[in-house]
Amino acid sequence: MSSNLREVLSGMQSSQWYDHFKGALYPLNLDLCRSKVQEKYHVKSLLQIAADYIVLDSTMTSNAVNILPQELCTVLMQQALEKNKDRAIDVLLSRWPLQTLSLKKFTPNIYTNLAILHDHVELSRVAKQGLRYTTSVAHNFLETLKKKTSTRLKCIDLTGYPTAEVITYYLATHCMLAHNEARQNLMIRKYEEAIQLLPPEEAHSRLERFTTDQSLPDDYFHVKLDVFISSEPALAEVCKALKVSAFEESTLRLVVEKLDVTCMGYQKIHVLLEQVNTEYLLGLRLKYNSIGSAQFTHLTPILCKFTNLVSLDLSCNCINAYQNDLTVDALITVFKYLKCLVRLDLSNNRLKSKLRRILGSIEKPLVFLRLAGCGLTLEDMTYLSLSHHATGLKELDISENGLRGSVGMLLLLLQNVKSQLCVLELEDTFLTDHQFELLGPYIKQLASLLYLNISGNSASSEKLYQFGQCCAILPDLQYICMSYARDVYQSEAEESEMKQQFAFTLADEIIKEQKRLGLKTRVPTIVLSELDQEMG
């Protein structure tokens, strides 16, 4: 590997953002989250225990593959991935009995812990676990091809797990290499056909001058993956790889199912999207790209082509729909084409008073919706509470919006989503004692709620204890995120002690209420954060 390439790859590795691997693109498996109060101990089968032992040594794995039924290769692959045994994975890929290997069939779903919504350490752990899977399979697959090992495997599917940018770059580079070799081989074949017209001796002499040192086999292979780009070298390489993947003569082709482009800007995004196959893209994230209203309007025609999109994240850009009908029309146009869209993040774009027109153009009820910091008004909350989306929402984040003046519509919204809502985030929404008093009875009705975030709101200990009692009835609630009550900050000398007392009393009030109702006593994990002193 050249020193320049090492520098590029090193830079990409250091720029890894784990924040990419949550939200609209990577859904939490809410059913598994619900059963996470689950099996603390998983007992492996005898077959898994035997496979664990076999993959410890690649020679043993190779011998086992030769004598065991082909069906057992799947169990060996599961255990090799779990144990991160690269050499065993290499052996299994070279002897794989099928033409396709889909990673998600052999690895567990890693999005089963609600803690990733607030805990960066847990999110990093989960992302690293997924990166380990994709890195191991992608690297060993390319090594198998370069060794020209005879394998039936023609397609690997890495989707469902994050792929590190450095691995995406690595795959794209080999895609270009395979394309260049295919073109070279085509030219040589044409040359060979042409010199057959010469006298035999001269033809033989000319052929001897052409010996090819091909690094990849002359066959067709596909790699399906989720692509994350936050550097210009990776973007340029992926653009070229996707372009040549559409050529008939290309032997190694990339197929993108999810695409995340960060900090690249409008023009580079436009160039990249032109190369992406619209048929296969299911998730698109364009966060932190400084896309303004005019630029989004220019992106509209190309976004409309991705009709199979299920997830779209346009958060943290500069899209201003307020008093800007051209921008609203552009958003409406895009959403009318995205018939499969059920996961949407428009956070930190100004949508004030335009929610009805924008979300009304989305055909299916949304399952996941983030509208944090969008300047939502009473009119917007009225629409949201009465819209068709209220029938499907399972995850809702309307944090960083001033909801004090529209609390009535918030309560109506909770009434209408009570049967299915699992995640609710109301952080920094300017709720105080009166609003918490009104909110409590409606929170009681959210029978499916797993995660509740009300942090950043200023309330007294008394009202937060009462609110905790309302949460006590929820059977599956696993996390309550809230800020300390404002009265714990009254005395600096006693602040630490009062914080401890607040946490203890809150948990105690929940247990008391559960006992009073004859319920099994179980306190959700309470995640406490500091309250902004200006709010307190």
Residue 522 has pLDDT above 50, yes or no: yes
- What is the per-residue pLDDT for 44? 82
- What is the per-residue pLDDT for 69? 86
d(CA 384, CA 441): 20
Q: What is the DSSP string of 378-431?
A: HHHHHHHHHSGGGGT-SEEE-TTS--GGGHHHHHHHHHHHTTT--EEE-TTS--
pLDDT classification of 196: cutoffs 50, 70, 90: low
pLDDT classification of 479: cutoffs 50, 70, 90: very high
Q: How many CA within 13 A on the CB side of residue 2? A: 5
The per-residue pLDDT for range 74-131, each reduced to its tens digit, is: 899 999 998 889 899 999 998 888 899 999 999 988 999 999 999 999 999 999 999 9
Residue 416 has pLDDT above 70, yes or no: yes
Mean pLDDT score of the chain: 88
The arithmetic mean of pLDDT across residues 392-396, rounded, is 98
- What is the per-residue pLDDT for 218? 58
The per-residue pLDDT for range 238-257, each reduced to its tens digit, is: 999 999 998 887 889 999 99
User: Worst-scoring range by mean pLDDT, 39-53, 151-165, 437-451, 498-512?
Assistant: 39-53
Residue 527, H or E segment: strand 525-529
Residue 46, H or E segment: helix 46-54
Return the number of other C-beta atoms located less than 10 Å from residue 161's C-beta. Answer: 24
- What is the per-residue pLDDT for 202? 58
pTM for the predicted model, two decimal places: 0.90
